[in-house]
Amino acid sequence: MGDLPKGDVSVSNIHIGMLEEIVSGVASDVLLYSYRRSFDGFAAKLTEDEANKLKGKEGVVSVFPSQKKQLHTSRTWEFMGFNKKMKTSIIESDIIIGMLDTGVWPESESFNDTGFGPIPKKWKGTCQKSANFTCNNKIIGARYYLTDGDNGPEDFISPRDAEGHGTHTTSTAAGGLVSQASLFGIAKGTVRGGVPSARIAVYKICWSYGCSDEGILAAFDDAIADGVDIISLSVGSSIPFDYFEDSIAIGAFHAMKKGILTSNSAGNGGPTPGSVVNVSPWSLTVAASTIDRKFVTKVKLGNGQIYEGATINTFDLKGKMYPFIYGGDAPNLTLGVASEFSRYCFPGALNATLVKGKIVFCEYFTDYEGVLEAGALGAVFQDTGNKDFQFSYPLPFSTLNVNDGRMIINYLNTTENPTATIFKTSQDNNQFAPFVVSFSSRGPNPITTDILKPDLTAPGVDILAAWSEASTVTEDDTRRTRYNIISGTSMSCPHATGAAAYVKSFHPTWSPAAIRSALMTTAIPMTSNNNIEGEHAYGAGHINPLQATDPGLVYDAGEIDYVKFLCGQGYTIANIQLISGNSSSCSEETDGTVWDLNYPSFALSSTPGKSITRVFHRTVTNVGSAVSNYRAVVNAPPGLIIQVQPSVLSFEYVGQQQSFVVTVGAELGNSMISGSLIWDDGVHQVKSPIVAYASIML
């Protein structure tokens, strides 16, 4: 492998030329990959004699045989420095995670209970009787909540998962170690959850036609009473505008009262501003980000050119070249479709006689249904959308950018008998990770603009985890799999759930707010270099489970703090009593401003072009060294003035609380200004984002 040649030359043509001198057949047929972006080299199918000939050629640095390298892990937890050899708590197996989702596939190896002891004595739940579902010492409880009209013919009237989503999220949070897991050989390695020894309680709230509010509230009700420690809910609705019209916010409030943290997905409405959901300040809101692995699907043309696409292609054509046809050349004339329309490959637009058994090129990515119904062997789509996450499809499939698409159109238009093949997906390093993926919902908070949401981000892109064997790999597919790769904030949420359960296992008496604070203040800082929305994309940063067990200080809060917050937000006594379930009342003493809620982040907003000053009152609790002194370290970029009083906090014992005041002044333009406050004792760095932004939502 050498440096790239200078000048405007075709590296692939150089490689084909070299191969033509040593092989007896067609050089382009043996060329597998042409490396042409960072270094000069290629991969080819050669005999030993041909390889030796190549070694002797001038300009060849090295020739060596390809070897099979094995992945050692499914990457997500290891990417966060959270490997299977990390320190674990002796009470991890007493932690119970309540999963509110589509149910679970109990026979999955991820839920094997070998080595588990008796069910924790605190458990008060049940395994709802069903002909096709059995609990064990790993899945210790299971219930389902069916509302008339929610289920379809494929649903199981039991806690069993027919869709796959719930099995995936549950194994991500708390699945056991399973080696050699993969999706048809892709991403092969060891999969596991964040807390493999924890117990699982399943609450099936989602069916073919949705997840009803009544089912959600019933599940919260049961889970709280059953004795779960953490609730995970990768479900959401449209953008909320009132906490009391959101069943999840209501359920999470009741969970908080009983010391149970609810971990929520932030939604998949990104990158639209203000699209974040599940924003109640008493729950954890999780965005989705990438890891240092990405999947690529390469397309090779008959002229030897290879292009890199963005899908998960589970089909192996073994490098065989197939006839390649442009969708615009195969209009369905029977239905009066013109080539100007068939080039997009919409359903019904293609002539099945012309495309059957061929690979079709389509100029615009809509869906696979048009090529599938026409009997195409595979498809290559030109795609102008985001390529920071991938999908699987029921046929060989790849999507290319516009520039590569133009090159392919030129090839199709200038070649008499064009051919192509689509390679099975391989994986590559994602050097820009982590960054928040495009689909992850963004802030600002649509209900309370000065509560920063999402809280943090966690891996949610191309996640390999357990799958329901009643479900197929994709829609319109017949293949079954035990493990599948999917993306969403539904996938990032259980990563945060697992991390929260891990912290809980070391600190079983910590409140939900303390656990959330530990996760937020120890999060790995991120920058707007990869996400222009800044903290509205990633909150406090990327989750760091190991560090979260020792945060030094925590921002704690309880029911009375949230009641004060709600009073300050203008909610009526009747509404507050409805959600709190007690005789809470609002008065001058209990009215609290949003800036005084003891939250681990600081946010202030106003209309563009204004100067604004806000005063935040905060209290931290010492959970680190008994005797310690923390110094305030402020990062205030131009346009932001941050003052902290006092600037030093001294502690004499664990559990001691100290209060401080942060005054923030900002000159608001049209963009966000991001700063931070770090309390530093030389061992712990307790970091909180401080953001000021102009909001049109005011």
Round to whole Å and give the CA distance between 577 and 594: 19
Q: What angle do CA 187, 188, 193 make, to 5 degrees?
A: 85
Please provide residue 125's backbone torsions phi and psi, each rounded to the nearest 5 degrees: -90, -165
The residue written with tokens 């062997």 in the block is 377
Query: Which of the following is catalytic: 490, 511, 676, 695?
Result: 490
Is residue 238 annotated as part of the catalytic site, yes or no?
A: no
Question: Ramachandran region of residue 682, left (φ > 0), alpha (ψ -120 to 50) or beta?
Answer: left
Location of structure tokens 């699209």: 275
Q: Is residue 165 flagged as an active site residue?
A: yes
Length of the chain: 698
Looking at residue 120, the DSSP 8-state letter turns out to be P
Quote the CA–CA distance of 333 and 352 in Å, as a whole number.
11
Out of 15, 34, 94, 165, which one is annotated catalytic?
A: 165
Q: Which of 12, 34, 89, 101 is catalytic?
A: 101
- The residue type found at 373 is E
Would you call 490 a catalytic residue per the annotation?
yes
Could you tell me the two tokens for 548? Answer: 């979260």
Report the alpha-carbon distance of residue 158 to residue 137 in Å, rounded: 19
Count other Cβ atoms within 10 Å, centred on residue 432: 12
Torsion angle of the four alpha carbons 29, 30, 36, 37, in this order, in degrees rounded to the nearest 10: 90
Residue type for 458, please?
A
Cβ atoms within 10 Å of 76's Cβ, excluding its own = 26
Q: Are 285 and 299 in contact (CB under 8 A)?
A: no
Phi-psi region of 140 (alpha: psi -120 to 50; beta: other; left: phi over 0): alpha
Both tokens of residue 176? 């056991």
Name the DSSP class of 304: S
Radius of gyration for the alpha carbons in the chain, expressed in angstroms and rounded: 28
Helices assigned H by DSSP within 297-399: 339-342, 352-355, 369-373
3-state helix, strand, coil in the chain (%, to 5): 25, 25, 50
Contact by Cβ (8 Å): 606, 693: no
- Residue 405 dihedral angles phi and psi, to the nearest 5°: -60, -40
The alpha carbon of 649 is separated from its chain's Cα centroid by a whole number of angstroms, namely: 37
Whole-number Å distance between alpha carbons of 615 and 629: 24
Catalytic residues: 101, 165, 490
